[in-house]
Amino acid sequence: MKQCNELNKPDYAIQSGLSLRIHSLETFGTHDGPGVRMVVFAQGCQFRCVYCQNPDTLDVKGGRMIELKELVEKAVKQKAYFGKLGGVTVSGGEPLLQRDILIPFFRALHHEGINTCLDSNGRLNDAHTRQLLEHTDLLLLDVKHINDRWHHRLTGLSNKNTLSLAAYRESTGKRMWLRYVLVPGWTDQPEYLEEWAEYFTDYKTVERVEIIPFHQLGRHKWELLNMDYQLKDVLPPSETVKQKALEIFKGRFKNVILK
């Protein structure tokens, strides 16, 4: 990965040859932020979520390199379709692994009048992350579990940095959506749903909470990669379980969406 030596420059110019490692691109996306969006799926992730739907995005050396200038050009060509709400979302994998590359990318998008959105697990919270967030119009933050022990079981890592990043974003007063994947037997415990909702209930920057029911659509990718899939016998959450989670979250947040 090429490193950017212009991170502190106030201009939007992109260093020649600066590239992002991506898994794929989606045009006219409608599930990763508001409006119609170009979605860039960054390659590489440090979490090992047992329910990961795209395990092919985990390898930090996988995917392909694409120059930032090309990405900006693609976004500008689609700008007419974005309207007032849409723009560009960088998802993953985990985009914060390439946060230093994303800073000039988001700067350039802002120069073109294009809205920026970052979909992240919040694992990394350092000076470069915070610099990127200055140029991020909307943060989609995936908070996998409020209980750290369960979070370790789900992802292999702690939730402390994720919660720290949420607190930092709140301190800036800038927009944030929270996301929660509902997995039977793993993330559907009512007491932890209550604790999750209570934890974020006073956040002023949380405009929306999304509940994403677990499904088995990514199972075949695990099998193709010869990876052990722990949830092969887990069914999607029942209507009762989904409605219970919805009820708990609606008790704390004004805008809750069951996907």
Average pLDDT over every residue of 204-209 = 98
Question: What token pair was written down for 26?
Answer: 């989606």
Residue 189 pLDDT > 60: yes
CA 222 – CA 122 distance, rounded (Å): 24
- In angstroms, how far is the first alpha carbon of the chain from the final one? 35
Asked if residue 4 is part of any domain, the answer here is no
> Has this prediction a pTM greater than 0.85?
yes
Asked if residue 14 is part of any domain, the answer here is no
Q: What angle do CA 209, 165, 205 make, to 5 degrees?
A: 45
Asked if residue 98 is part of any domain, the answer here is yes
Asked if residue 198 is part of any domain, the answer here is yes
Q: What angle do CA 236, 255, 160 make, to 5 degrees?
A: 70
Amino acid identity at 99: R
Q: Which pLDDT score, from 0 to 100, does residue 15 have? A: 78
Residue 3 pLDDT > 60: no
Q: Which pLDDT score, from 0 to 100, does residue 214 have? A: 96
Q: How confident is the model at residue 35 (pLDDT cuts 50, 70, 90)?
A: very high
Average pLDDT over every residue of 82-86 = 94
By DSSP bridging, strand 176-182 and strand 115-120 are: unpaired
Q: How confident is the model at residue 2 (pLDDT cuts 50, 70, 90)?
A: very low
As a whole number, the mean pLDDT across the chain is 94
CA 245 – CA 230 distance, rounded (Å): 23
Q: Are 196 and 181 in contact (CB under 8 A)?
A: no
Residue 205 pLDDT > 60: yes
Asked if residue 125 is part of any domain, the answer here is yes
Q: Residue 41 forms beta bridges with which residues?
A: 24, 91
CA 258 – CA 250 distance, rounded (Å): 11
Residue 209 pLDDT > 70: yes
204 burial type by CB count under 10 A (0-12 exposed, 13-18 middle, 19+ buried): exposed
Q: How confident is the model at residue 6 (pLDDT cuts 50, 70, 90)?
A: very low
pLDDT top residue among 195 and 3 = 195
- Give the helix/strand (H/E) hosting 145: none
Q: How confident is the model at residue 9 (pLDDT cuts 50, 70, 90)?
A: very low
Asked if residue 1 is part of any domain, the answer here is no
Average pLDDT over every residue of 57-84 = 96
Q: Which pLDDT score, from 0 to 100, does residue 16 have? A: 78
Q: For the domain that residue 65 is a member of, what is the CATH number? A: 3.20.20.70
Q: Which pLDDT score, from 0 to 100, does residue 14 have? A: 80
Average pLDDT over every residue of 72-97 = 96
Q: Which pLDDT score, from 0 to 100, does residue 12 have? A: 66
Q: How confident is the model at residue 212 (pLDDT cuts 50, 70, 90)?
A: very high
Q: Which pLDDT score, from 0 to 100, does residue 17 have? A: 82
Q: Is 141 helix (H, G, I), strand (E, B) or coil?
A: strand
H helix runs in 11-147, sequence order? 68-82, 99-111, 127-134
pLDDT tens string 225-244: 999 999 999 999 999 999 99
CA 120 – CA 95 distance, rounded (Å): 7
Q: How confident is the model at residue 252 (pLDDT cuts 50, 70, 90)?
A: very high
Asked if residue 160 is part of any domain, the answer here is yes
Q: Which pLDDT score, from 0 to 100, does residue 11 have? A: 52
- The residue range of the domain holding 180 is 19-258
Q: Is 39 helix (H, G, I), strand (E, B) or coil?
A: strand
pLDDT tens string 110-139: 999 999 999 999 999 999 999 999 999 999
Asked if residue 7 is part of any domain, the answer here is no
Q: How many domains does the chain have?
A: 1
H helix runs in 46-189, sequence order? 68-82, 99-111, 127-134, 148-155, 160-172
CA 28 – CA 164 distance, rounded (Å): 32
